[in-house]
Structure formats: structure tokens, C-alpha cells
Chains A and B, each alone.
Chain A
Amino acid sequence: MTALVPLSAAASPDPTPATAAMSALLEVRNLTINYASPRGTLRAASDVSFAIRPGEVMGLVGESGSGKSTVAMAILDLLGEAGRIDGGEILFEGTDLRRLSAGQRRSLRGDRIAAVFQDPFTSLNPALTVGRQIAEPLVQHKGFTPRQAAPRVEELLAEVGIREPRRIAQSYPHQLSGGMQQRVLIATALGCDPKLLILDEPTTALDVTVEARIIELLAGLCESHHLSALFVSHNLGIVNRICNSVCVLYGSEVVETGRTRDVLARPVHPYTKGLVAALPRITTDRRHRLSSIPGTVSKLSGPPDSCVFAPRCPFAEETCRRLPQALRGDAAGNSVRCWKAEALSGTPWPEESTASRPPATPPARTAPLVQVDALRKVFGERRSILPWLRRDGTVAVDDVSFTIQRGEVLGVVGESGSGKSTIGRSLLALIEPTAGTVLFDGADFVKQAKEGDRDLRRRAQLVFQNSAASLNPRKTVGAAMERPLVLAGRQGEAERREMIAALLTRVGLPAAYADRYPHELSGGERQRVNIARALATDPEFVVCDEAVSALDVSVQANILNLLADLRDELGLSYLFITHDIAVVSHIADRVLVVYGGTICEEGPIGRVLRPPYHPYTEALLSAVPRLSGAEDGPEPERILLEDSTAPPGGGGCAFRGRCPRKLGTICDERAPPVQTATDGHRIACHIPLAELAERASVFPELAALH
């Protein structure tokens, strides 16, 4: 390891001038971190350098395995036993943290350097009140007694936008919503007036509308407290929203760093170009395919002996594979780790060709393939001999009706608790509806499936979100794919093997993968296997339940393109369930926007993305973080929703509790009427259509409809 330090030190931009070091609040220099694992030493960060000035928010971006969280934890001295810093310096206000004693580092933590972690629910101790947990740093670092800390705790809670601070301080974490929990963590971090915030994916576990509020809050706090922050994220849209500068990590190295506006608008490093190109943007073009980055990140050990990105880089040459790359800076303070950077400056990431594809045919208006009528599902109803254990249950889906044509992709967009997954699973008879019917090609699906109709089962399939959990860990890919074939009556073993090989090839995997176990594949590869398995029975209809949500951006683009190709070639119909409106705009013909188990808005994707909007759709669209640079004009004002207070249910509109345009008691008492606009665009709202149409478009870049 020691050999690495002089090598990379020599390769890095000139030893930072003293003045720069003085002005930076946090400076990381040539940081190298390795992890001991049973399979040898793994490289988690090599030669990572960046600096954060007072008041600056820096984004540390990368996909899973890039080492971004490791760097954040190293700054907090929380690497754990397996991780080891093998070189470099972490300068905080000019002092190298590595030279301090463990006790000195601890006294900085929570006081001068505070943190907010990804998953607020697991970051809060379930056994202690949140008030007590917020008070802890105050007691520890500022010498408050717990009693003295109480008013300060309430003040902090109020500052992060919690309305009843006294009551909330006395609650336990499980009594709060995800957004509230994250506010509590932020309040904890602010307690001792820190200089630096380490934000490790602080909104990743949250819904889009909640995320938008938290980002707004964080941006405001950094501004008002003159805070610096290291914002670790995989989401370029959010980084674009909140960060002044950005540092892109790939395969444990910094590949590009600079001002956010420069890096995201005009990426220089091939990886950054690919990442930006692969990001799904709002579109309404059915033929459009996303750019994608081929291949996957490989596990790294030992010092780099070539460009880490070379195996996936379309511009790579022989030189790239022979020599490790050095970070080179330019006059504006941006740097990039690619010797071809200047030569490539004008070259965009190669686009997926759309020319060879047959033009997509709009779905024919014949008899619908799937017809759902007045679907209702109540969960958790409980009967018991003990009267106090009886429960009414919660309504997950309430009076939902829609149809899907042959060859049509229907998107279902909603946040957690909207009932979108329940809708998908009811369609496949995995959940028995409490009321309502599901007709598949004219037959009652639920009834037929119960009677063991395998042919109907064969024709409708599901692709899951969690690619790992949906494959039995003890079966090879081949064995997993063979079962549907056996059930479909394919008796010959040779025939089945051939079909499996053909299916694997169809989804872009080598046929030899049939002998592998699921854990030997990457997330993207497993998702391809899932798709291949769904295709094995030659279905007509596939429910994709958050099928690309768990994947990294570059892989997500791959899978999304594959699904779109299959739709065009095999004439499949999809019910595409997702929380991500940008993803759905790439694949869906029509969309349902669901909230609290009811449909608020439905229509062709092009109509739903333009006014008139349902107030919830408008808020949802406006919350989507995007990559729109300064050249796109000023950003439209965001619509921020309150945290949900009233649980949905009862009479009236499901969205009334959070609706920014609520009319009055009519919304509480009467279910909203469904108003029909053009092209089957329907909105369930008490506000008249004309009034809804007056709002400005959230996406001015979408041209007006023909």
C-alpha cells in the first residue's frame, strides 16, 4: 500500500497551495481506504482528494460500490473494524483528524461535525424518546443537564419545521412518519451549531414529495447557519438542486470534480457523461431509448493499474488499459481523471440508436386485455374472541377501475401507501380483492386462478422490485427458469434447455448463466433473469412492480430499454408500477396517478404531464429533482406538501389532508367528481377543470401537444 502514496501524490495536482488549505473548512487529501474481507483486501477509496470551503455544499456522487459512503464514514471516524485508512489526510479547520487521539476526534463529532444518515428509522434508537436523543449531543458537548436541554430541543424541533415540538419530543421513533424522523435527525445534527454537516443519502429512503421538503429544509438551514456540508448521494437531480460543487466517484476514485453547474451541464469525464445521459428525463416519445453504460462495476483490490472506467468506456484505447490515470485540474478549479478529456470535450455519450427499431404502433382500441372494475382491498381486518383485539382494518385500495389494451403500457405512479402494489398484485390474484372484479381477456381472473387455471397464470406474469429476493437462493438460474416451462407442459429436457438458452440470450445474458446461482450475479443481471423467467411462459401481460427502482442509474437505463424493446417486439402489455414519474414517462402510454388507494388522475402520459393537473399530480411532478441548468431559465417554483397528518379514509377526497388547494369542507365530506378532459384524460377533483388548467406547466420544456 505504501507504494501507492508517493505515486498518486506525484500524479495529483500540485501540492495544494497553503492559502487554499487555510480557506478550506474540510480538506481530504489523497485518502486511501481498504476493507479487509474474507476474499482479500478490497479497495474502497484510493487517492481521494477534495476540499469544502465554509458555506459550501459539496455533493459526493457515485453509484453503489463507488466508495462515497466510505469516505463520509472515514471523516466521521466511523469506518468500523474492517475498514482501514491506509494513507492520506483529513484536514478539518487545518488540523489532520488522523493525528488526533480517538477521544479528540469523538469530541468533534456531534459538536463541530454533525451527521444525518440515510435511513432515519434505523438511525433512531427505538427504545428512547426522540427528545432524549436530540438532547444527547447538547448534554455531551455543551454541558447542558437534560432538564436544561428540553427548551433547546423544542426550539430545534420547531426550526426543522415540526409543528408540535413538545408533543413530538416525547414520542418514540415508531410513532413518527419517515419525513418527521428525518427532521428529528436533522434537529439532532443542528443541536451544537456544527460547522460541517455530513449528509449520507439523507432523502433516499423517503417519498418524492417528502424528499422535496427535506431538501428545501436542508438548503435553507445551510444558507441561514452558513453551514458547510458534504452531501453524499446517488441522485444527480438532488445534487443539482442543493450542491455548489460536486465530486464524482467511480470505482473508489474521484473521476471528476468541479462546480455543479459545470460538471452536470458539461460533463468531461466519460463516466460522468454516461451517468448524465442515462438519467431518465421527462419525455413523451415512445420510441426514445435511454443512453446506458454497458457492463458493471468490478470489485477492486490493490492499487489501480489502469483507468478504472476503461472496461465500460466507449472511448477507451490501449493507453487507458495500461496506465492509471491522474486527476488533472483546469483554471476554473474543475478537475478530471482522464487523459483524453480535452479531446473528448465536444463528444457526447453515444446515443442508443432508434433508427433500426420498427416504429411503435399506438395500441389498438379493441376489446381490452385487462379490465378492472370497482376494485377494493381492506387489509388487517381481525376477528377474535377477545373484543379488544377486533379490528376494522385499513383500506389499501378503494373503488379503482381501469382497463389495459393489448400492447399498451399503463403506468401506475404513487408514493408509499398509495396502494399501487396492491393493485398490481390483485390483478394477478396474489391478493384476493375484498370487492370488485378483474377480467383478463374476458375471464374472471381471481376465480379462474383459484380453480387452478394454469393457462391464465401463464398469460400474466410479474417482474419484482427486489431482484435478489425474487429468486430462490438455493436454485440455479436455469432451475428457476425451468419450472414455468415444466408447468407449461414442456416435457423434453433438451427442449427446455434450448428454450432457456434462447430466453437468456433474448434478455442479453450469456446462455452459460443458466448454471449460476443468483448471488453470483449483479443486481442488473438478476433483474434480466427475472424478466427472462417472466417471459418463459410466453405471456401477454406483465406487471412490473418497481422493476427498475432498486437499480443504479446506468443499469436502470439498460433494463428500461430492454423492457421497451420487448414490448415492441413481442407486443406485450405492461402494468408498470413505480414511484418515479421520469421512469414512467419513458415507457408508459397511459398513467394512473394514485393517492391513498384511489385514482386522482388518469390519461395518456402526454396529457398527464401537462395542465390541467390534479393538485397532487402537480405537487408530485414539481417535486421531481431534475437536471435543468441555468440555460433552461429560472426554475419554476416548487409546490411543497405538508407531511401527512390525517390518515386517508372516511368520506371525502383521500388527498384532502395534504392538499395545498383544498376548497373547504366539501373536500372532507364528498368524494371528488371525476371530470373528463380531452383524450380520456380524467381528473378526480372538486376544483373545476378550467381552473385546474390555468396553472403553468411544470415542464415548460415539453412542447405543446400537436
Chain B
Amino acid sequence: MLLYTLTRLAYLAMVLVVMSILVFLVTQAMPGDVASMIAGQFASKEVIDAITVKLGLDQPLIVQYGRWAAGILQGDLGRSLVLEQPVAPILMEALSRSLVLAVVALAVVTVIGIGAGVLAAVRRGRMADQMVSGVSYLGIAVPDFFWAIVLVLIFGSYLKWLPTGGYAPLADGFVPWASHLVLPVVTLVLMLIARIARLTRSSMIDVLQTNYVKYARAKGLPEKVVIVRHALRNALLPTITVLAIDFGLILGGVVVIETVFSFPGMGRLLLFAIQRHDLPLIQATILIISTAYCLANLAADLLYAFVNPKIRHGMGNA
């Protein structure tokens, strides 16, 4: 298990390095010249050149990357050109809000998705199964931003039960804080619950047909024990991997959803940065979101290994 963790960490480090290079190169290729943006619209060429030299923008890309990467390792994410302040604190604040959104959404997806999938598999071909299938078709059918608009219309504008957008810090009290989270979370999870439910259903059905489940029944164990102890544990293995991928989808979905709900998180920050060509901010945002995603994948890999004794007790390390 220790060796396995080390291996995964080594891979993670490699991926992060390559990823940061990629992010750096792509943002370099983006339109907009940093020096002229800092200097302002009416600056003379000399001023711009002076800024270029001062920021080291005339140096080879590799040197620039090195400086940028070194800064990141020391916690310095650069300085926003548009907001004219260090990126790190802005980013951390936005990240904390977006993470709350993403983690709550993931928790909801996990609980409801797996529950519905297991129910559908156990009651295969009967009412409950067909209901889960039907509802999951609806969930998959339309994009989350469409659901967002529909939900805002119903619960915000029409019923007026929930705020249609914005954010309230926890300091303002739990209820305002939570009420601002409800609609974004529901929007984020609809499609993913459907996906997880379908996946869990099919892997559960596969596992229910295995010999060891049959043998568990031959031992005279009650169906509940057979399902929970013998089937579910193994059926969840593929689900764990997909949940990590879903966390990436949630992080991506956050970008879209935050615009709809005017939720001041990473997604809005990223779109703002892209519209204003704020290169340091773009680089930092993409890097942080992707790192969060990689960490989620690492967590899933380790959890997978922990649940699966074949990996935990050394049978193949890769």
C-alpha cells in the first residue's frame, strides 16, 4: 500500500509538471501583451519596453517558466493585471467557495446516485428500476445550465422560496448561506446522479451474477446481507473511479453554473480573467482547478486500492 501510494504520488508529480508547462505555453500563446496592458493604452514604446525588461518578458520562455514555477512553489501565484493585486488571496477566497459547492454536490451525487443505482439493480425490471431509469433519462437529457434556468424560474422567480443567485458568507448565518447553495448544487448534481445511478446499477447487476454472490446465497445468508456485504462492496469499485471523474465534471460545471447564479467562485473568476486577458490570473485559476482535480483522482485511486485487497496486499503495483 505504501509503495502503491509512492507510485501514485510520483505519477501525480510528473503529471502536474507537464500540466503546468502546458498551461504556461497555452497562456503565452493567448492574444494580449502583458507589458502593454500594464502600461495602459496610451503608453509610449519606451515605457512598454522598460516594463518588458523589468518583468523579464524579453527572456527565453524557459527562463520565464522557471521563474513562474518557482514562484508557485513558494506560494506566489503572480499578480493580477486587471485587479492589480496578488492573485493568491483572491484565488483562495474564490476556491474556498467553489470547493464548498463542489464537495456538497459530490456528496449528494454519491449518496443519491449509488442509492438509486442499487435500488434499481436489486429491483431489476420492476417499478423502482423503471422509475430510476426514466428519471435518469431526464437528468441526462438537458444541460445543467438549462436546468439552472428552469429552477431559477420556478423556485426563485415564481415560488420565491430561494435566492436566484449570489452568495452569503457563513458568517451571515447558516440559513442564508445554505439557501444560496441549494439551487447551484441541485443544478450540478442532476446529470451526475443519473450517470452514477446507471453505472452503479449495471456494475451491481454484474456483481449479483458472480459466483461468490451465488455462494453467499448458498450459505443461506439473507438477501440484505448478500447485497450489502458481498455485492455492494465489489460493485462500488468502478463507481469510485467514475466519481473522481465526476468531481472533474463538477469543477467544470462550476464554471458554467457560477455564471448563471452569479456565484463568486473560481468559475466566474476564470471567465472574468479570460474576458480581460489577465494572463497571470488565467494561469493560476486553471492550474489550481486542475490540481484540485488531480488530487481528487489521487484520492480515488488510493480509496480504490484500500477497498480492493488485491492492490492493498501487493498484487501488481501499477
Chain A residues with a Cβ under 8 A of chain B: 76, 78, 106-111, 114-115, 117, 119, 122-128, 136-137, 140-141, 172, 174-175, 185, 188, 198, 386, 388-389
Contact = CB atoms under 8 A, between A and B. Distances in A.
8 contacts: A123-B211, A123-B214, A125-B234, A126-B212, A172-B309, A172-B310, A172-B313, A388-B6
Given A106-B222, A117-B214, A126 B317 contact: no
Question: How many interface residues does chain B have, given as a range?
Answer: 20 to 34
B210 A122 contact: yes
Given A122-B211, A127-B309, A388 B7 contact: yes
B234 A126 contact: yes
A117 B211 contact: yes
Contact of B212 (A108, A114, A124): A124
Given A117-B214, A389-B317, A127 B219 contact: no
A85 B317 CA distance: 48
B315 A188 contact: no
Contacts of B198: none
Interface in B224-240: 225, 229-230, 233-234
Contact of B229 (A106, A128, A389): A128
B218 A76 contact: yes
Contacts of A76: 218
Interface of B: 3, 6-7, 10, 210-212, 214-222, 225, 229-230, 233-234, 307-310, 313, 315, 317-318
A106 B310 CA distance: 31
B153 to A, nearest CB: 45
Most buried by B among A110, A174, A198: A110
A109 B210 contact: no
Contacts of B230: 125, 128
B218 A127 contact: no
A386 B233 CA distance: 32
Given A78-B214, A119-B211, A388-B3, A109 B219 contact: yes
A290 B181 CA distance: 78
B207 to A, nearest CB: 10
B218 A115 contact: yes
A386 B317 CA distance: 11
Given A174-B315, A389-B7, A137 B220 contact: yes
A389 B8 CA distance: 12
A126 B230 CA distance: 9
B212 A123 contact: yes
Given A110-B220, A140-B220, A126 B310 contact: yes
Contacts of B225: 136, 140
A119 B212 CA distance: 10
A574 to B, nearest CB: 36
B10 A107 contact: no
Contact of B220 (A108, A122, A175, A389): A108
B318 A107 contact: no
A389 B7 CA distance: 8
A122 B212 contact: yes
A110 B212 contact: no
A185 B229 CA distance: 18
Given A110-B219, A117-B214, A386-B10, 9 more contacts: A108-B220, A111-B220, A114-B219, A117-B218, A123-B211, A125-B212, A127-B234, A172-B310, A185-B215
